Structure 1
């Protein structure tokens, strides 16, 4: 038996159009799953200019999760859902998160939408006795001086994972999470694209390298598989040892 075979399984990756979510989506597809992704652009063709996006073999739907009403209105293209991965996220720089509009925008995308997507997919997940995986951040475990909304939202995601894990376990839904460290995506280019900042960041990572979407995908596959059948409400820190110091 191959516990990482997802043939005949249906997976939805919210935020699967790029970055970590896209890496996770392809990891499930390569192991036999039918994979759907939600993104913000009108069609999959609108991502051809993005180095972080590869949408071949994935079902694509435009859903702007910054407004929960969009999530409530969208029609799910499946009756049964085996795995829901919530990898949506944003961050604002230049102190925008210290102002209420910026703070609210980040919270709406990074936290409120998690509950809205979970609620939308609750029925199909319960029918399949499936798994939900919330992608938060290592920021949930330390302060992020310039990004109060990002930190608050990821800390909230950590708590929501525990709470839904307990609340939905008897419905047959296992809820767990992943907290990535520094992964090279468009959201982190302010650091990874700056040689001086990157050098400083790498000094604080014992494994000596950035994380990749594939590193996060490995954790997601584990959490969605029978290998983690007795794991519930946990958030795995996948950071190359960054928080050990």
Structure 2
């Protein structure tokens, strides 16, 4: 069997309707995994791509900012026939404003979706994996702002820095229980969350000058790293935060 073969495994992917989440869901399916997509909006395109790869797709409609929703998401996935093998915490939102003007509402919205929900999904998923006595993989989607400060995105920076810390903490607690917890830190990616940056000619030019690869990432650039962290190839990898950034952090 290939080290990267995910046949017979299920992956639960949040934010699977678009962008990085969709690309990761499709990449995992192409490696053999069946997919549970979790999202606020329709996931018809993701479902079409997953089924075209010959894999099953289950959609779970959920707003991750809803308090206490994590256990029900995992329960719905398992009730649909999934097994607790792989969890990808990808769903995220961003709010931009100078820190002098940043509102408490925007702070809470981002922290609730990007950090709080990710932790409690990890918890609910790990409980299910341990109860089923199955080895499992958790992949959190971090950011360059897990390492750097950024500007005008204080709640996003706080959430992604926190997610890096939680990834390491959970790896410490769960490695001996057969659960690998790691993260991918994308660089600047062409998604809805970065449309404002790409539309700003000056900011876009500044960003491109800083990326050794000379281009923004495409969502599908994250798929290979996700397959690695979901597969047997990473069985001794715990608490890693893997940058997929075109060389940004090396600059």
Length-normalised TM-score, structure 1 = 0.91
Instruction: Find the partner of 2:108 among 104, 107, 113.
Output: 104
Distance 2:64 2:31 in 1: 27
- Equivalent pairs, count: 237
Kept after mapping to 2: 8 A contact 1:63/1:71: no
Deviation, structure 1 residue 148: 0.6
2:152 match: secondary structure = coil
Kept after mapping to 1: 8 A contact 2:16/2:43: no
2:76 match: secondary structure = coil
Instruction: Find the partner of 1:191 among 181, 197, 200.
Output: 197
Structure 1 partner of 2:209: 203
Deviation, structure 1 residue 65: 0.6
Distance 1:92 1:23 in 2: 23
Deviations, residues 124-170 of structure 1 (Å, cap 9, x unaligned): 33332110000010111111220110000000000000000010111
Length-normalised TM-score, structure 2 = 0.89
Matched, 1:231 2:230: no
Structure 2 partner of 1:50: none
Distance 1:141 1:154 in 2: 9
Kept after mapping to 2: 8 A contact 1:23/1:214: yes
Kept after mapping to 1: 8 A contact 2:60/2:77: no
CA 1:29–1:208 in 2, change beyond 3 Å: closer, same or farther? same
Deviations, residues 49-84 of structure 1 (Å, cap 9, x unaligned): xxxx53323321111111232223343332622111
Deviation, structure 1 residue 199: 1.9
Distance 2:106 2:182 in 1: 28
Deviation, structure 1 residue 95: 4.2
Deviations, residues 198-221 of structure 1 (Å, cap 9, x unaligned): 222110000101112221111111
Structure 2 partner of 1:49: none
Matched, 1:215 2:216: no
Distance 1:173 1:81 in 2: 11
CA RMSD of aligned residues (A): 1.7
Distance 2:28 2:199 in 1: 29
Structure 2 partner of 1:40: 40
User: Where do 5+ consecutive residues of structure 2 fail to align?
Assistant: 52-56
Structure 2 partner of 1:55: 47
- Give the ranges of 4+ consecutive aligned residues of structure 1 lying more than 6 Å apart after TM superposition: none
Distance 1:224 1:71 in 2: 21
1:68 match: secondary structure = coil
CA 1:98–1:234 in 2, change beyond 3 Å: closer, same or farther? same
User: Where do 5+ consecutive residues of structure 1 fail to align?
Assistant: 46-52
Distance 2:30 2:137 in 1: 18
Structure 2 partner of 1:114: 118
Kept after mapping to 2: 8 A contact 1:85/1:135: yes
Structure 2 partner of 1:48: none
